Structure 1
Amino acid sequence: MQSEGIVPDGKILASTLKACGILHAIEKGEDIHQKILADGLLTNDVILGNALVDMYVKCGALEKAQDVLWELPVRDIVTWNTVIVGHVHHGEGAQALHCFEQMQHDGLAPNELTFVCILKACSIIKSIDKGEQIHHGIKRQGLLGNSIMLCNALIDMYGKCNSITKAQKVFEEMSSRDIVSWNSLITVYVQNDEYRKALNCFKRMKQNGFSPDSVTFVCLLKACSNIRALKEGEQIHNEITRRGLFKKNIVLGTALIDMYFKCGASAKAQEILEELSCHDPLAWNTLMSGYLKQGEVAQVVSYFEKMQHMALTPDAVSYSLVLRACGILGLLDKVEQIHEDIEKLQLLEEDVVLCTALVGAYAKCGALAKAQNLAKNLPSQSIASWSALIAGYVQHGNGDQALICFEQMLQEGILPDEVTFACMLKACSITQVIQRGEQIHAVIAVQNWLQDNNMLGNALMDMYAKCGDLVKAVQVFQEVPLLNLVSWNTLITGYVEQGQGEEALEYFEKMQQNGLFPDEVTFLCSLRACAEIGATDRGERIHEMIRKNYTLKNNSILGAALVDMYAKGGALPKAQQVLEELPTRDVVVWSALIAGYAQCGQSKQVLHCLQSMQDEGLYPNLVTFSSLLNACSRFGLVEDAYNYFLDMIIRYGVQPSIEHYSCLVDLLGRTGNLDKAISVIHYLPHYHHGAAWSSFLCACQKWGDVGLGRWAFEQALKADGGDAAVHALMGNIYAAA
């Protein structure tokens, strides 16, 4: 056009600017802007000025749009609305409100569109005070009575600012409503966790003659998901099908998949995916996410592979989900293959979630060097990826390396967050470096994170308890304002692990007095406490609580804990009864009962249990004989222990570990059977001799046998050079002579 000598006028330029905005062609738009300025076309052309502002807004250049607005010789309500809409669209609520105030200072009265946008701005920043001011302004201008759109915007604003009552009041005062009005109120209920009210509102809507649309159904399905209302969810599904809204609507299909998963009907969710005619990664991702949350990680990998076989292209979310599943399953080869695919598609460039999932997958698979190298060289480094790496080291028990990684992360200029600190506290627990844990505690206190973060409070308690400082663990427990069941379990577990069963049971009682009911973890720890201190009477009361709230038919772990508690307390008939009530018994359960009979010297019953165990297709293993030998050691049953040790090797063909040898050497030594102890040591593989001779030296010290002690000391030196403890033991033997 210009090449033919035709000069574009304001209308043509405005249309061209509109096209630039749609195409996000900001450079072309800037060229036109320069031409407009050079030709002085903005002097009296409000439409052209508005088109220029709109182009910059649509291209995301909001500062430039604002600059142009102030440079315009003439501005109208459309000019201001354009900039306000832009700020709201980009989630900049405060800037939108600032523009609104400037517009009023410019002498312009807001119209219906302005108010709708400004109410959205109030929603973004959750400012109910500002929202109420706008509400009064709308009333003053007399716009509220005849505008359903404004009323709907008010309902939405009050809902997002968590004021259900005010949202309801606006709704009830409306002279007429549309489907958006009903959807807005239903959405308010769902956003504020009033799911049953949302379902009741739907019934009322239908009674008033309104037909639900896709938005209604998506909100209702979310309500059903959150209260596990499968029956209502199925009814809504039937209505969606009757209206023909389902097969081609990916959002509805996804909402149905999510609802069925959360209601425990995973097979039905699977059917929905197969019925959808529109195959979109969103639906597949929802299904895979559901399986991941349920712990069915193999299904995640399976559906990811099905997705690829159907020639569907996974997106970043799909890859993130399958990487998390592969990490849990330890499928390193699969992780490496997915890594190659991701790099080919260049998905790592900007997606922090995907980067984190990849680092986490390598770390969980034990490829920690690869995970660390990846975390260092990612194009978009984040605290999440470093936290995933640190968590990997912690998971594999490498607390020292986790601490080193933490230092490297700080050197990279990345500041830790709550998740990082929770991982670091676990690393301190592993390494027993309480000083570092105290430093982290100090940072957490300065940040005031304990006020609203259960996870950090629980991690601190766990760290102090595992490092043996239960006084500080209790101090943290008392400082945390939001105690949950995990908090109580952490402290109870800490007391049990430090051998303070009485205190553990005291907190078990206090927890219930505070209105919290024990879960499986609480019961397991409390039963262990009863077992350690021989509190069979309290164990029986706990057993009764378990009986009322759990079925042992589906919980062999609790069953094993009960058997162990009764067996250690000498209540063997009850231990036997619990074992017989279990539908499936494993080696651990049998081992607990066998140890109970062993500690009471009932060798016939031990042999009977061993035979019964084999009749069920189970064979005694290292755990069984550890239980047996520890029970004998605890009660000084030398002959029984010696016989069981020989049976272990000769009769059952189980090769003893260093723990079995050490237990027997310790028992024989403590009971004065030093010759037998020496013969057992000679059976040991050479590289275990050092630890065994140390145990034997303790016996020599007890019995004051300097000559045998000197000989054992020489054997220990030959075995591994002798550590400081061996020298100290020999010194004690000489000192006592």
Structure 2
Amino acid sequence: MSDCVGGISFFTLASHTKQQYEMDKETQEDATFMEVLKHQTQFSENLLRLLKVCVQQEDLAKGCILHAIFLKCGLPSRRISIANSLINLYAKSGRVARAQQVFDELLIRDVISWTALISGFANHGFSGEALRCFDIMKHHGPPPNAVTFCCMLKICGNTKDLRRGEEVHSEIITNGLLIQSFTLGGALVDMYVKCGALLQAKCVFENLPSHNVVSWTALITGFCEHKHGEEALECLQQMKHEGLSPNAVTFACILKVCGSLAALDKGMELHANIIKTGFLETDYVLGNTLLDMYCKCGYLEKAQQIFDELAFWDVVTWNMLITGYIRLGYDEKALICFADMKNEGFAPNTVTFSLILKACASIGAPELGRELHSEIDRKGLLNHGNGLVNALIDMYAKCGIFTKARQVFDKLLDRDAVSWNTLIAGYCHQSQGEEALDCFEIMQQEGVSPDSVTFLCALKACGITGATIKGIETHVEVVRRGNIPLDNSLENAVVDMYTKCGLLTNAREVFNNLAVRNSITWTSMIAGYCDHGYYEQALMYFEQMGCAGVSPDVVTLTCVLKACSRIMGASKAWTCYESLRKSCGIVPTIEHCTCIVQLFCLAGHYDKMIDVVNESPSSHMMASCFSLLSACRKQENAQLASFAFDYARSWVFKDPN
């Protein structure tokens, strides 16, 4: 609080009023009653004026000085306005016990007294005390007002107490307060939103006599938080139709929706609107949200531009940009960003280190990972939960340094399912299935219950090692538990395990009972039949996949070409190759190009073979030529081999211009 109030020093005014009070006491015998009353009233008003400034600026220190003067003069119990201000001051400052003490000393308590105390309890996490106080108020105090009910709705929302929230809603309607208060309408919507009752929130909203930005934003926030992005966007449009402009909070919510839906066009439209409002100049949180939206939409060039133009950076801003680069596979760029962050003087936090360790794992940079480990250890960050430790285990495991991964893992005092999953997944990543299954067994022996991720890794390990019996046992265990959600990824893992173990009948049985089959499911079946020599069946599944309207991917094309090459189906292979390349947008890999070249060569379709070589991307050209030479050797076709050699030589030495 400023040391001046109305141009007068706080301490001068406080001292003056105290001296005035003492002088009044000394002259009471000679003065008339009215004169004494006048002096005392002026004294009280001066102190109350000072106290209200303390409350506004939450200046607890000066407020305590005033309280000491009040106590000496015996004023709080006689003046409810002074006592209410003291309750408010202590409640806002988190001194709720002191606020309660002042409240208890009051002879008469009005609605402001009760509401100030309830608000103090609510704002500092004492929900139970606030509810108790509210119940006592209803039975022994004045009727609650709109502010009191707003406090109660906030508590119900924060504690997700829908039943109590509905009771408060009913009381508000009974007292006819909803028609009188905009704030109550928004608070009701917010309470239902936080309790997850979106239909009730929408119903309350639609029945409000009028809407404002706060009530619209409360509803939009609810849809955003509960992953109903399309509904949130519809609300924004309706809000605009009513002539209301979004505030910074509204924009932030909708930008999050655009990021989650990858709705780049809508996000860019909002960006243009935000620039017009000038919010970016004052609200750095909105700037971070805008940056995050562009990162999630994959427009990293724009994200970097936004980052460079922000007036304020913090660790969260840097983490968002780093996350964007890592999410799209630009791990080297993320590492450069990390170096820039440190050069700018920003200290990485646990989130930053976890992200950079993930980048090290992706590109196989164990040396940098070791340096980060040392830095993390020096800063004592390994004591901040298991998150960073798990990131270290993941980095070492995916880089193949299992001695170090186990060393970090063994130091964990509380090894939870996530820690075990990280280590098991690392073994699977390096195709060390037996070690993964050993960890799976030890995990259960230590009493840690596997989750869906654990079972997914265990099934993958069974497929790697061909552990048929263990694979069946794991599948049975998943079904027996019942509490493991059989999502599509886990179902796919079961199918993939059976196909890799050669149990095609089991795989087909699980496959036929699946409610949803995606490209991974179909490809697992195609690859399984292909790997075990059932090429006709593999192509049959490929045709069924097309009839089901599921688009194949790069792995599917590899399996199909492999099947065609085994049964000499050159025409079929070419049809699939062209169809998938043109209609599905699949970019052929080197493996695809070499496979189709060899297939045409062996089938004697030399013209088509040369067309494939000519159309191969420059990065695949040499591989295609070597594939052609290999096929010529098998067929002992010297003339074609000479052509292939000359073609490769001319391509290597061709003029780049």
TM-score range, shorter chain: 0.7 to 0.9
State the 1:387 CA deviation. 2.5
Aligned to 2:28: none
State the 1:652 CA deviation. 7.8
Aligned to 1:429: 361
- Aligned positions of 1:139-538 closer than 5 A: 146-147=105-106, 187=122, 191=125, 233-234=165-166, 236-246=168-178, 248-479=180-411, 485-513=417-445, 516-538=448-470
Q: Deviations over 1:487-516 (max 9, x none)?
A: 443333222212122333344444455555
State the 1:591 CA deviation. 2.2
Aligned to 1:570: 502
Counterpart residue identity of residue 433, structure 2: G
Counterpart residue identity of residue 191, structure 1: G
Rounded to whole Å, the distance in 2 between the matches of 1:193 and 1:504 is 46
Q: Answer yes or no: is the 8 Å Cα contact 1:697–1:709 preserved in 2.
A: yes
Counterpart residue identity of residue 452, structure 1: H
Rounded to whole Å, the distance in 1 between the matches of 2:45 and 2:440 is 66
| Structure 1 residues 250 and 536: alpha-carbon distance in aligned structure 2, compared to 1, 3 A threshold | farther
| Structure 1 residues 428 and 647: alpha-carbon distance in aligned structure 2, compared to 1, 3 A threshold | same
User: How many pairs are equivalent?
Assistant: 609
Rounded to whole Å, the distance in 2 between the matches of 1:588 and 1:508 is 25
Q: Deviations over 1:586-625 (max 9, x none)?
A: 3332221232222232345335434544554557664434
Q: Deviations over 1:642-665 (max 9, x none)?
A: 546753323685457786762795
Aligned to 1:602: 534
Counterpart residue identity of residue 465, structure 1: A
Q: Answer yes or no: is the 8 Å Cα contact 1:505–1:529 preserved in 2.
A: yes
Aligned to 1:46: 17
Aligned to 1:647: 572
Rounded to whole Å, the distance in 2 between the matches of 1:535 and 1:318 is 54
Rounded to whole Å, the distance in 1 between the matches of 2:531 and 2:456 is 22
State the 1:354 CA deviation. 0.9
Aligned to 2:636: none
Q: Answer yes or no: is the 8 Å Cα contact 2:220–2:253 preserved in 1.
A: yes
Give SS of 2:502's match: coil
Q: Answer yes or no: is the 8 Å Cα contact 1:668–1:677 preserved in 2.
A: no
Rounded to whole Å, the distance in 1 between the matches of 2:45 and 2:486 is 67
Aligned to 2:38: none
Are 1:123 and 2:98 matched, yes or no? Answer: no
Rounded to whole Å, the distance in 1 between the matches of 2:406 and 2:236 is 46
Give SS of 2:347's match: coil
Q: Deviations over 1:411-437 (max 9, x none)?
A: 433333333333333333344333333
Aligned to 2:30: none
Q: Answer yes or no: is the 8 Å Cα contact 1:352–1:382 preserved in 2.
A: no
State the 1:697 CA deviation. 10
| Structure 1 residues 274 and 523: alpha-carbon distance in aligned structure 2, compared to 1, 3 A threshold | farther
| Structure 1 residues 81 and 322: alpha-carbon distance in aligned structure 2, compared to 1, 3 A threshold | same
Counterpart residue identity of residue 462, structure 1: D
- Aligned positions of 1:606-625 closer than 5 A: 606-618=538-550, 622-625=554-557
Aligned to 1:558: 490
Give SS of 1:543's match: helix
State the 1:43 CA deviation. 11
State the 1:356 CA deviation. 0.9
Q: Answer yes or no: is the 8 Å Cα contact 1:587–1:619 preserved in 2.
A: yes
Rounded to whole Å, the distance in 1 between the matches of 2:267 and 2:627 is 46
Rounded to whole Å, the distance in 1 between the matches of 2:138 and 2:490 is 49
Counterpart residue identity of residue 460, structure 2: R
Q: What CA RMSD, in Å, does the superposition of the two structures yield over aligned residues?
A: 5.4
Counterpart residue identity of residue 338, structure 1: L
Q: Percentage identity across aligned positions?
A: 32
| Structure 1 residues 337 and 200: alpha-carbon distance in aligned structure 2, compared to 1, 3 A threshold | same
Rounded to whole Å, the distance in 1 between the matches of 2:447 and 2:56 is 46
Counterpart residue identity of residue 572, structure 1: L
Counterpart residue identity of residue 641, structure 1: R
Give SS of 2:494's match: helix
Q: Answer yes or no: is the 8 Å Cα contact 1:320–1:357 preserved in 2.
A: yes
Counterpart residue identity of residue 341, structure 2: M
Aligned to 2:591: 662
Give SS of 1:191's match: coil
Q: Deviations over 1:506-559 (max 9, x none)?
A: 444444555554444333333222222222333333323433566999833332
Aligned to 1:544: 476
Rounded to whole Å, the distance in 2 between the matches of 1:329 and 1:503 is 39
Q: Answer yes or no: is the 8 Å Cα contact 1:426–1:459 preserved in 2.
A: yes
Q: Answer yes or no: is the 8 Å Cα contact 2:51–2:66 preserved in 1.
A: no
Rounded to whole Å, the distance in 2 between the matches of 1:695 and 1:527 is 36
Aligned to 1:11: none
Rounded to whole Å, the distance in 1 between the matches of 2:182 and 2:458 is 49
- Aligned positions of 1:625-644 closer than 5 A: 625-627=557-559, 641=566, 643=568
Q: Answer yes or no: is the 8 Å Cα contact 2:561–2:573 preserved in 1.
A: no
Rounded to whole Å, the distance in 2 between the matches of 1:149 and 1:529 is 73
Rounded to whole Å, the distance in 2 between the matches of 1:583 and 1:323 is 34
Deviates more, 1:277-286 or 1:617-626: 617-626
| Structure 1 residues 665 and 525: alpha-carbon distance in aligned structure 2, compared to 1, 3 A threshold | same
State the 1:288 CA deviation. 2.3
State the 1:92 CA deviation. 6.5
Q: Report the TM-score, using the length of structure 1 for normalisation.
A: 0.66
Rounded to whole Å, the distance in 1 between the matches of 2:242 and 2:297 is 28
Counterpart residue identity of residue 446, structure 1: R
| Structure 1 residues 238 and 359: alpha-carbon distance in aligned structure 2, compared to 1, 3 A threshold | same
Q: Answer yes or no: is the 8 Å Cα contact 2:54–2:89 preserved in 1.
A: no
Rounded to whole Å, the distance in 2 between the matches of 1:717 and 1:384 is 53
| Structure 1 residues 549 and 286: alpha-carbon distance in aligned structure 2, compared to 1, 3 A threshold | farther
Q: Could you tell me which runs of 5 or more consecutive residues in structure 2 were left unpaired when the two chains were aligned.
A: 22-42, 78-82, 634-639
Q: Answer yes or no: is the 8 Å Cα contact 1:665–1:681 preserved in 2.
A: no
Give SS of 1:319's match: helix
Rounded to whole Å, the distance in 2 between the matches of 1:324 and 1:439 is 35
Give SS of 1:408's match: helix
Rounded to whole Å, the distance in 1 between the matches of 2:279 and 2:201 is 28
State the 1:375 CA deviation. 2.1
Aligned to 2:36: none
Q: Deviations over 1:558-588 (max 9, x none)?
A: 3222111111112222211111111233333
State the 1:479 CA deviation. 4.3
Rounded to whole Å, the distance in 2 between the matches of 1:425 and 1:459 is 6
Counterpart residue identity of residue 689, structure 1: M
Counterpart residue identity of residue 487, structure 2: N
Aligned to 1:166: none
Give SS of 2:280's match: coil
Deviates more, 1:646-655 or 1:298-307: 646-655
Give SS of 1:123's match: coil
Q: Answer yes or no: is the 8 Å Cα contact 1:666–1:696 preserved in 2.
A: no
Deviates more, 1:205-214 or 1:322-331: 205-214
Q: Deviations over 1:4-31 (max 9, x none)?
A: xxxxxxxxxxxxxxxxx9xx9x99944x
Counterpart residue identity of residue 493, structure 1: A
Rounded to whole Å, the distance in 1 between the matches of 2:190 and 2:458 is 37
| Structure 1 residues 494 and 210: alpha-carbon distance in aligned structure 2, compared to 1, 3 A threshold | farther
Rounded to whole Å, the distance in 1 between the matches of 2:13 and 2:550 is 90
Deviates more, 1:220-229 or 1:439-448: 220-229
State the 1:217 CA deviation. 5.6
Aligned to 1:58: none
